[in-house]
């Protein structure tokens, strides 16, 4: 029998697994004030997000709009300095149109830092009261959007954690969930295999094009998506890393390609193209794993599976992170930061199916309200930088 739990119903019909108040700074100059407001609610569902740039960027605007209307978000407080170029009125209008409470504080008009912190604290307290009665409805696996990312990878990642996550994805997709995998810069060499899994030949061609674009991008930078820590952990080539990253997608047919902020239209498996379009302008596509997590959240991910071999301790704001540790030695060293010990596969103590079953069970428990390790510790990492994307073409989301 399928798992059922209580979710938070939003006006667009989507269902959330958390009911968070997001406090969003709209320029780095407002970061401190927003952070001080959030610090007054350490034991409540109040999370800090924001965009640090001062000049406008369509990508950042879209991302903040998607994050402010994410199904896990119940209300939003926007914190502006006042002279930045971010279109705060448009952002507030989009959030208000979604039926969520939203307020905007402009530090230059509110009396400075201390006054804004005091007023923001009062507003958040009121928002928590206002969203306490959001309707609860039955929710199941078919309502979920789940992302996956691997970071701090080592020689065990592609042998245990990543294939276990991929097998979990197969089960989720079979039950109607939407699953997102990404890291096109770490899929170089796997594009032809992915194309064979595409639901249409046209989508297959687009999958190849995504990886080709990533290869060109990194070639211009002169630096691939392969860190010194990967080599120290036993990975010797980008081919090894690509194959390890690829297996976390599982074996299900690939239903489409999305870009950050695009919400999967239905259940299925989707590749997220995270490499900017056009000429190289903004540096490395993803300066940390958290940047990729934020992009998947902006595309509706209720939670993210994070596979690590070397050991990464980060979580995220808005959507929980489930940490899957591929290396048994790392798990023993960082057990308090991990949710799943996929290293048991390496040691012959559990099978791939056993661990995939544990991940599935943890996904359902997390959706029902159980805190992940990173949530319990208070991790709320968030990064949003400049990027530029063209809209996806019709071949990217075939109707079959």
Assign residue 109 the CATH number of its domain: 3.40.50.2300
- pTM for this predicted structure: 0.95
pLDDT for res 187: 87
CB atoms within 10 A of CB 1: 3
pLDDT for res 227: 58
- Which two tokens mark 235? 């990975």
- Strand 4-9: give its sheet, edge to edge: 15-16, 4-9, 136-140
How many structural domains compose the chain?
2
pLDDT for res 190: 87
Rounded CA separation 24/26 (Å): 6
Series of mean pLDDT values for 10-residue runs along the chain (400 residues): 89 97 98 98 96 95 98 98 97 98 98 98 98 97 96 81 96 98 87 95 97 91 64 57 79 97 97 94 86 97 95 96 95 97 96 98 98 97 96 92
Same domain, 129 and 145: no
Domain hosting 95: range is 20-133
CA 78 from centroid of its chain's CA atoms: 21
Same domain, 245 and 382: yes
pLDDT for res 238: 63
Rounded CA separation 51/67 (Å): 11
Given 115, 133, 151, the domain boundary residue is 133
pLDDT for res 284: 85
- Which two tokens mark 300? 């509706």
Same domain, 124 and 172: no
């Amino acid at each position: 029998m399928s798992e059922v739990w209580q979710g938070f119903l939003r006006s667009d019909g989507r269902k959330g697994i958390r009911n968070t108040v997001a406090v969003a700074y709209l320029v780095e100059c407002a970061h401190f004030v927003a952070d001080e407001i959030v610090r007054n609610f350490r034991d409540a569902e109040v999370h800090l997000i924001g965009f640090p740039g001062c000049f406008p960027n369509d990508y950042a605007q879209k991302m903040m709009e998607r994050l402010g209307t994410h199904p896990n978000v119940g209300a939003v407080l926007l914190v502006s300095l006042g002279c930045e170029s971010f279109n705060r009125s448009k952002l507030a209008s989009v959030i208000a149109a979604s039926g969520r409470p939203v307020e905007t504080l402009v530090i230059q008009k509110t009396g400075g830092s201390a006054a804004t912190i005091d007023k923001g604290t009062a507003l958040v307290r009121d928002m928590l009261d206002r969203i306490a009665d959001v309707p609860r409805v039955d929710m199941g696996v078919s309502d979920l959007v789940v992302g996956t990312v691997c970071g701090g990878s080592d020689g065990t990642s592609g042998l245990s954690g990543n294939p276990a996550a991929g097998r979990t994805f197969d089960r989720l997709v079979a039950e109607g969930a939407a699953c997102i995998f990404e890291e096109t810069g770490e899929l170089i060499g796997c594009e032809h295999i992915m194309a064979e899994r595409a639901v249409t030949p046209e989508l297959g061609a687009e999958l190849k094009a995504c990886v080709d674009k990533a290869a060109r991008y990194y070639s211009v930078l002169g630096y691939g998506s392969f860190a010194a820590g990967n080599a120290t952990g036993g990975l010797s080539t980008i081919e090894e890393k690509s194959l390890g990253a690829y297996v976390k997608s599982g074996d299900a047919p690939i239903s489409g390609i999305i870009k950050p902020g695009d919400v999967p239209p239905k259940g299925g498996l989707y590749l997220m193209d995270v490499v900017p379009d056009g000429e190289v302008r903004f540096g490395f596509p993803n300066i940390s794993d958290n940047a990729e997590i934020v992009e998947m959240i902006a595309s509706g991910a209720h939670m993210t599976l994070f596979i690590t071999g070397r050991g990464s301790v980060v979580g995220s704001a808005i959507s929980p992170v489930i940490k899957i540790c591929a290396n048994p030695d790392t798990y023993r060293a960082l057990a308090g930061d991990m949710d799943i010990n996929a290293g048991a596969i390496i040691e012959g103590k559990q099978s791939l199916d056993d661990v995939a079953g544990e991940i599935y069970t943890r996904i359902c428990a997390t959706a029902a309200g159980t805190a992940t390790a990173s949530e319990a510790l208070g991790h709320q990492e968030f990064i949003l930088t400049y990027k530029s994307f063209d809209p996806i073409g019709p071949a990217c989301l075939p109707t079959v």
